[in-house]
Amino acid sequence: MRTIYLRKDQDNFIRRVLIDMAYLSADKKIRLPKAYFEEGLYLPFFKNGSKEIDKYYLSKDKIISEDQNHYFFKFPFKPEQVEDAAV
């Protein structure tokens, strides 16, 4: 599986946050350390097999569970739907 990054638009650049790929492949969930969570993080993906890109924002209402150190989010895509990391 290739590397997938969350992104956050900040001023004139895009900040990237690496997703825990081992957890994603095993459990089909995004595991994000609580310290890395902030409003505006998104996952760019291709809509329904087209070339059009949309953004899946990670927000507090999309948290499906949490533990002491992590938030867990649903990963509602196939890995090939997620846009490549080159920015």
List pLDDT tens digits, range 27-71. Answer: 888 999 999 999 999 999 888 767 888 899 999 999 999 999 999
Helix (H) or strand (E) run with residue 16 in it: strand 13-18
Nearest-angstrom CA–CA distance, 80 and 84: 9
11 torsion bin: left (phi>0), alpha (psi -120 to 50), beta (else):
left
**Boundaries of every domain in the chain:** 5-61
In the prediction, which pLDDT does 21 show? 81
Res. 87 pLDDT band, cuts 50 70 90: very low
pTM score, whole prediction: 0.83
Residue 13 has pLDDT above 50, yes or no: yes
- Type of residue found at 62: K
